[in-house]
Amino acid sequence: MSLSLSFASTPAQADSPGGPPQIPCYRSLSGESGSGKELVARALHQLSPRRERRFCDVNCAALPDDLLESELFGHTKGAFTGAVADRAALIEEADGGTLFLDEVTDLSPRAQAKLLRVLQQQEVRRVGATVSRKVDVRVVSAANRDMRTEVAAGRFRQDLLYRLDVVRIRVPPLRERPEDIPVLADHLWQTAAARVDSTAVLRPARSLIQDSQAGRDAPPITHRVDSFLPGPR
């Protein structure tokens, strides 16, 4: 994990906000649910020249299509029923920083077309607006479905894939990186111990490593660490 992050976060001029007009270097993350794609996206942001600007994120599978478009691209007052005030686009809020699009393959065809224009033109037009606003945003996308498979099935735009998939990073599940388990176990233990004001000390994480090798990932391990501690739950 450390090597792939080091490569993927190597500062590049195109990733620096406020410089000469360039297309930022976009990254796509793939991996199973729960493998930590959002944490990787946040790490990429913190290790980049954009770390002083905002990190904005949205789960594209969690919102209805119309609401998601309003969230991503913004809207003007009166653009549709219920639009009682102007709303800035999440893309505008991430100007100079990073926008993380989780489950990007769940975008509707219309939203895909709008996102493609943003990436090509580096500008966004709010719903109901007549003018576009320039933005400088680096997009990190993630999906637990293979984007190339989605393109082949006709559910995802190939031209959008080319824009998003400049640098591809596979995030392996915890069972494939057991060396991370002691670090995660120690962090989870300290967090849980602080919550219940306990001074208990974590024993060697051998049983947690065995859990991972058996195919059980982070959430069950979290509950197991928590169950070892005394005090109220």
Give the fold, CATH level 3, of 2-172.
Answer: Rossmann fold (3.40.50)
Q: Return the domain boundaries, the chain.
A: 2-172, 176-227
> Which of the 8 DSSP states describes residue 12?
-
Beta bridge partners of 57: 100
pLDDT at 219: 52
pLDDT at 197: 85
> Of 4, 8, 27, 40, nearest to 165 (Cα)?
27
The one-digit pLDDT tens for each residue of the chain (233 residues) are 544 554 455 444 456 565 544 557 789 999 898 889 999 999 999 999 999 999 999 999 999 998 899 999 998 887 787 777 888 899 999 999 999 999 999 999 999 999 999 999 999 999 888 889 999 999 999 998 899 999 999 999 999 999 999 999 999 998 898 888 888 888 888 888 888 888 777 766 555 555 555 555 555 555 555 555 555 54
CB atoms within 10 A of CB 101: 25
pLDDT at 20: 46
132-157 as b/e: b if 16+ CB within 10 A: eeebbbbbbbbbbeebeebbeeeebb
pLDDT at 7: 45
Q: Which two tokens stand for residue 217?
A: 């990932």
The bridge status of strand 133-134 relative to strand 123-124 is antiparallel
pLDDT at 207: 58
SS3 94: coil
